[in-house]
Structure formats: C-alpha cells, structure tokens
Amino acid sequence: MTITMRYGSKNKKDSKSQYIYLRIKHNNLDWDKSLKVKIDAKDWDFKKGEITHKHSFGNPIHSQNLKEISQMVNSTFYALKHKAEEFSFSNRFILKEWVQDKNRKAFIDECETWYREYLETKQIIRQPYITDLYKEFITQRHKIGEIGNQRLTRVKNIHRNLLAFEYHYGRRIRTDELSTELWVQEMIPYFREDYEHGMFSEAVTKKGTPKSFSGIGLEDSTIKTIKDGIQQVARKKGNKYNFHWDILNDDSFTIKPTTKPKLFLNENQVQSILEFNGSDVHNLANKKWFFSMLFYGCFRISEVYISLEGKTPKQVWENEITKRPNAEGELVYYWKCANLKQSGEIHNKNLPMFEQLGELLFGGFKNAEAGNFPNSFPKLFARNTYRNALKEIAKKVDIEGRIISHTMRRSFLNNLKKKRTNHSDMMQYSGHQTESALLSYLDASDNYVPTEVKLNQ
C-alpha cells in the first residue's frame, strides 16, 4: 500500500492554483482526497511530491504561509501513512478480498475513516460545522432586527433539528460535506422516520417544567423549511466559507414527497438478517453482533456506542448489571444502560436482559457468573459501516423497502406486541417515558390474530 501527495487530482502543472491531494493506493484500489489547500505550481516540487520554498525567498509572508501549509499537509500525510501501513499489516486477508472483488467502496470507506479520525483527533478546522454556522447566522440576524422574537423560535427549531441529525449520524457535518447524497440518503429519511419530537427542545410549561413531546418523524413541509434554512445560510456565507456545490443547486438539493410507510420486520425477517452467512460481506460476524445489539437491546444506534465505548465486559457486569425479581417473582438480570431522551440528554434505562443479550455481552450469564469474561467487546466501526451493511444484507435476504438501524428497534417492539406484552412492560425496553411516545413506534395497521385466541370454539 502506497500513499503519496499530488498537485491537483492529475498531478500536473497548471497555470491555475491547484488543491493538494492525498492518494492511497493498493493494487486496483485507490482513494484520492483533496485537502482543500490551494498552492501555485511554482511552490510544488513535482519530483519529490512536496511543497517547496525555493521561490518564496524575499516574501516572508508567503514563506510563512507555505511553512504552515507544509506542516499541516505533512502531519496529515504521515498520520495516514501510519494508519495505512498498520492496516495493511494487520488486515492482509481483508485487503486481498477487496482486491479480488474490486471492492473500491470498502477501501474508500476505510480511508475516509482514517482521515476523519485524524481531523477529529487533531481538531483541524477546515470549514465550520453547518450547525454552528447556522446558529451564528440567526443570532446575527436577530441582533440587527432582521429576525423578530416570534420568528426566532421557529428558526431555532431548525438548529435543533440539525443538532439531532448530527447526534444520530454520529459526527458533526461541515459545510463542504453537506452534499445531495447526504441530504437524500441520510437526512431526509432520518427527519421523516426517526426524528423524535422535542429533541434538544428548551420549551417549558407554564409551571416552568420541561415540556413533554411525543411522536416520531417530521412533516415534509417542516423538512422543506430546514432545507430552505440551510440554503439561505449558504447563499449569505458562500463568499466566506466553502459549501458543497449541491446546496446551491435547487434541482438536486430538494425534497420529494413520499407516502411510504415505516417498515417493520417480523421475527423470520429479523432472524434472516441476524443469521445471514454470506461470504461477501466483510467483518460479517462483527456486523451481525452489532445488529443483534440493536434488536435485543431495543437500542438506537447511538445508544450502543454510549453504552459500550471505553468499557470492558467485566466493567459492565460489575458496575451496571443487577438481578431483580420480575412481576412473576423470577430473578432477571437488568442492565443500567444508555437511553437518549427527547431533550437530547443521555439518561439510563433499566433493561430486562434476554439470554441473547447476555451471550452478546459476556458469552452467556453463566460465563459471567463464573468470572470469565471476554477481554473486550467487538470493535465498534464507524456508524455508517453498520448502516450500509444492514441495507446490503437486507437486500441479499430479499427484504424489500428501506432498512435503517431504527428498523431493528421498531421491529423489536412490534414483535413484543405480538407476544401480548403490555405497554408499561414494553416501555422498560424502549426507554419511553409516555405511552403516546411508545405508540408512535408500533404498527397500528398490523391486525394480527393473537395465537392464544381459540377461533374454532
């Protein structure tokens, strides 16, 4: 695996300034990334593949700029070079499979993860986060009187909507990252199907207590308002910051009406995903473990990370697992794990644990009781790795419709409903505080016949 720096995507001299690119290549797999730093051809050494200072003497400002750019670029280069070499050494068989399958997407996703992790670790600010810039924009307009107090409440809601998406997505989104693909493939479906009303809301009742909300999903008219808000900021701030060109394209950055219902999986469909054995899905065991966590823990995708990151199985067992009697007097294990509230705060829920959850976390309850624990939980990949794999596997097992991580949570609750579990018990799994919030997860159109009803008598 080789990594090089290039002057522009073609690495050729040009009369115009070009961006510096990083290229990581392994056989028929390659990844090219613009560092969003432009320099002139005279400041680039094409033979050595690096920035040169030989034309900057006599111009101390230009020389200093080149020095700072060179330090930043070299730091990025060597960090990714280390990541690439480490991955190449530890994952030879995975790389071999990717090469054989010409799986360039998997290779690109892995390189993107290295790059994103480096930026977050070093806190290198390229372009502002869209949520921060939007908040700054509406605050400035309010100060000069362009936004009145009544309208300010409405535009603040857009800011909360964007914050909620970033929390769901697992990372913050910069202005130059917000493309049509992200908007259409991730943001619109999230706002339509997963957004929980009241996320990050500061609204209070007349008594001063936090206002309660219920319901899942936003109307298309509200999503259009979010889109218009983003575009307004881009048009006002486009001369100062870099935005993805898609944002300003009304034909691509849009919202198309839909009447598609939310998807619920029955037990057989869930098991077909959890028991899938195709050899062409990389890190399949890890991904099925994660999907099982989503299902048997009735988790949102972020809650799995919050509950497990930085912990060992032994620490979870000793600090978060208790044994208490259920309604029938049977002793049952409970897990005090993460629960994301509609306010955006992270609380806990006391989750009654199925045997399957004990297997996933500890290799079984008997194993944990004997003091035998796995050294660690399976590695947590980037959230999009699991989202994409879930869609891929669902397609391979002939499940139609758009499958998202939240589908596992909704399906878990609907399968509990078919077992005649009452709503208060179901809320222990979901973490909902109100029955109305729970009902928004259930499929009211599923008029199944209860198995205990004797129809022939």
Q: Is residue 416, in this structure, part of any structural domain at all? A: yes
Total tally of structural domains belonging to the chain:
3
Does 421 lie in the same domain as 356?
Answer: yes
Number of helical (H) and strand (E) elements in the chain, helices listed first = 18, 8
Same domain, 303 and 419: yes
**Same domain for 244 and 282?**
no
Task: Identify the segments of the chain with pLDDT beneath 70.
Answer: 53-65, 122-126, 259-261, 342-345, 444-457
Residue 447 belongs to a domain: no
Residue 393 and residue 275 share a domain: yes
238 in the same domain as 135: yes
Question: Do residues 430 and 314 share a domain?
Answer: yes
C-alpha–C-alpha distance, residues 403 and 394, integer Å: 7
Q: Per the domain annotation, does 257 fall within a domain? A: no
Query: Among 122, 146, 177, where does a domain finish?
Result: 122
Q: Does 281 lie in the same domain as 167?
A: no
- The answer to the question of residue 452 being in a domain is no
pLDDT at residue 134, rounded to an integer: 94
Query: Is residue 312 in some structural domain?
Result: yes
Residues 152 and 23 in one domain: no
Nearest to 353 by CA among 442, 438, 292, 288: 292
User: Is there a domain that residue 87 lies in?
Assistant: yes
Cα angle value 61/62/63 (rounded, 5°)? 90
11 and 70, same domain (yes or no)? yes
Q: Let me know if residue 449 belongs to a domain.
A: no
203 & 289 share domain: no
Q: Where in the sequence is the domain holding 316, given as residue range(s)?
A: 267-439
Q: Are residues 111 and 146 in the same domain?
A: no
Please indicate, yes or no, if residue 258 is contained in any of the structural domains: no
Domain co-membership, 116 together with 149: no
pTM comes to: 0.61
The pLDDT of residue 135: 93
What are the Cα distances from residue 177, in Å, to 129, 149, 171, 190, 351? 9, 31, 12, 17, 37
Instruction: Tally Cβ neighbours within 10 Å of residue 430.
Output: 22
